[in-house]
Structure 1
Amino acid sequence: MRRDDQASNRNTLGLFIEKAALLLAMTGAAVAAWILRDVVLILFGALVLAIGMSAVARLLGNRMRIGYAAGFSVVVLTGLILIGAIGWFFGAAIGEQLDEVARKIPTGLQWLTDQIEARPYARDLLAKLQTADLSGPTGWIASALAASVRTSVAAAGSLVVMAIIAVYLAAQPQRYKIGILRLLSPAMRARVSRLFDAEANILGRWFAGQLAVMATVGILSGLGLWALGIRAALVLGLVGGLLSFVPYVGAVIAAVPATLFALAQGPYYAAAVIAMYVAVHFIEGNFITPIIQSEATALPPVVSLLSVISCGLLLGPQAVFLAAPLALFFITAIEVLYVEPVITPEKKVEL
């Protein structure tokens, strides 16, 4: 009996040490991920891009019967040709309109300042703002715009790095998947492989749908600005399409520079621009997105909005661009790793 007790104690101690080591490893991984969160975000963005590229390459390979490698080469070459064509045909126009936007936004800010200072109740508010050391009556607006520009530049640099990493990941996706699975125990490989497949499916479908939404919003915004007589319609429509990648918040951010630019042409232009953006995003939110994004990938509005706010507060403004796919990633991981194992096949229900 004493030997059996000693063996049981050793097994218990070994199990405790194993769980403690696992807990320490998970804690260390979480701390390292937090310290290197910028790198983790770039890797996650590259993963989303790679999943989208891989899905298109697989589709082309199957449809054209040319294989995955040839399909992937077509995807990369097509992307490079499109980028070069946009730069060749629209580069000069975009550059001119960017210069015009840079000149007109301060004019719009000055008009807004004059209108505020012309009203007594607003002057009292300005005095309080100035005592708060906000660098002038509209300094907070200018500071917000400057921060947005810095964030956009940083996001553009990160996007280049993401694209380079995504090309390497999408070129040999199975190589990296098998390499990760080999690090796991045989008992965990099947479930983690199922997780990889589920994540690739959900993120690939979301990415394709989001690209379609961005293109639609960009085209509608550009056409609306052009119809209203806003001279920088191409650039502002492009910005609106890109920022629609961020749920809810992106629509508001995109409307700010367009409205300030329109103020330089007159207050009625600014009011018309605001009305146009409201109409475009009403159409996008109620018709375009529900049609393009299927129920399998559509996030509930509350979850989507909370993910944007949480990523912005915890990880910085650049992280809001990846808020939606991050939420989908964690929801899918919870379902595959936790929900599915505790639901027996007989009791499995649609969630």
Structure 2
Amino acid sequence: MRHDSATLIILLAVVALIAWFAPDVVLIVFAGCLLAVALRAPGVPLARRLGIAEHWGVMIVALVALVALGLLVWFGFATLADQAREFSRAVPRVLERAGTLLEGLPGGDWLKGQAQPEAVQPSARAAANFALAGVSGTLGALGNALLVLLLGLYIGADPTLYRRGALALLSPGLRPRGEATLNAMAHSLRGWLLGQMFGMAFTGVFTFLGLWALGVPLAALLAILTAIFGFMPYIGPVIGAVPAVLIAASHDTSLVPWVIALFFASQNIEGNFLTPMVQKQSSDVPPALLLGAQALFGTGLGFLGILLAAPIAAAGMAALRVSYVEGWVEDPADTDEKRIIRPA
């Protein structure tokens, strides 16, 4: 028992040190694990149906996803590029209309000055520095995305290898509970991902149809942005609604209440009915805890922290339930073995 505790303390200390000195690396590795879970969700059943090895099923799913993404970019690039250019041309008009709406509000004069087009025009040197930072950030993001993709492919193709390596760091007495914890985390992440992907697809389609019916410009681009931001529960939909409301205000102020009502209806249907139905309580994270996790990771780790806060919270709750509550607080001998989730 003393040996088990010492092993666990040393392992937790090492993980804490890595998270302290290299938090971005921890987030990238977690993103790779999340991608591996996403690839295995359809890849394993496909491999069993075709009678091939699991890693080939994962590779097929990854290849199909990359081809589908490439075709979407290829055929939709012209339309999206035109809408993006139209959006950039509409920015001064949106800022001017926003300044008009701010008149009479407390602090509105200062905000109106900040919203004027000339107030947001940078100097040549500032523009050059901003462009250089943008290029550097883009290259860094592409490098991280490639690293996440490779991690997802390697881990998704053979998760047993990495699970066995992680369990080898534990003492023999802790390995059964450690394996159950890893399986519970994978199960929770799979349920969360299914719910989020389904919710993002519904939100994108619902938003596009609603904006198109209302006659709001750039409906396709705004719907795609809304679907992407929908990956972040609670915070994402609010961020995604801002461009749509601004574009609607610049086009016709009478559309603003309808656009707000559209987003409100979309998020209520998705958040209260569809996503919980898909997740089936496998990763039921309380809203207050999720918002707290987003605030915590966003403050310390930036946008990537906010992006991954929800799945980290879902996996963390599963780990605490199995390893701490069932394995420490409660009597492990009384734990129902049927609750030990099988490997993903």
Change (3 A) 1:224 1:22: closer
1:183/1:195 CA distance change after superposition, 3 Å: same
In 2, Cα distance between equivalents of 1:286 and 1:201 = 21
In structure 1, the residue matched to 2:223 is 237
Paired with 2:53 and 2:189, the residues of 1 have a C-alpha distance of: 23
Of 79, 82, 89 in structure 1, the residue corresponding to residue 65 of structure 2 is 79
- Give the corresponding residue for 1:328: 314
Mapped pair 1:125 → 2:110: no
Q: Residue 247 of structure 1 contacts residue 308 of structure 1 at CA under 8 Å; is this kept in 2?
A: no
Instruction: Give me the whole-angstrom Cα distance separating, in 2, the residues matched to 1:193 and 1:24.
Output: 18
What is the CA deviation profile of residues 137-172 of structure 1, one whole-angstrom value per residue up to 9, with x for unaligned ones?
569x979xx9xxx7x967676444322321121122
Partner of 1:11: none
The equivalent residue for 1:161 is 147
For the pair shown, the structure with the greater C-alpha radius of gyration is 1
- 1:313 counterpart residue number: 299
* Match status 1:32 vs 2:18: yes
Share of identical aligned residues, percent?
32
Question: What is the one-letter code of the residue matched to 1:335?
Answer: R
Q: Distance in 1 between matches of 2:165 and 2:14?
A: 21
Matches within 5 A, 1:158-307: 158-307=144-293
Find the aligned partners of 2:164 and 2:218 in 1 and give their Cα distance: 49
Cα distance in structure 2, aligned partners of 1:235 and 1:288: 23
Alignment-mate amino acid for residue 278 of structure 1: F
Match of 2:325 among 331, 334, 339: 339
Give the TM-score of the pair, scaled to structure 1: 0.81
| TM-score (normalizing by structure 2) | 0.83
- The 8 Å contact of residues 155 and 318 in structure 1, kept in 2 or not, is answered as no
Give distance in 1, aligned partners of 2:143 and 2:254.
Answer: 37
Could you say which structure has the greater relative contact order, defined with CA pairs below 8 angstroms and 6 or more residues apart? Answer: 2
Change (3 A) 1:185 1:288: same
Matched residues, number = 320
In structure 1, C-alpha distance between the alignment counterparts of 2:179 and 2:153, rounded to whole Å: 22
Distance 2:8 2:289 in 1: 30
Aligned CA RMSD, in angstroms, stands at: 3.0
The letter for the 1-side match of 2:25 is V
Contact 2:187-2:282 within 8 A present in 1 as well: no
* Segment drifting more, 66-75 vs 217-226: 66-75
Deviation for aligned residue 1:95: 1.1
Output the CA distance in 1 between the equivalents of 2:46 and 2:261: 41
- CA distance in 1 between counterparts of 2:218 and 2:199 reads 22
Match of 2:77 in 1: 91
Structure 2 gaps, min length 5: 122-129, 340-344
Deviations 1:161-209 (Å, cap 9, x if unpaired)? 3223211211221111122222332222222111111111111121122
In the alignment, structure 1 segments of 5+ residues that lack a partner are 1-14
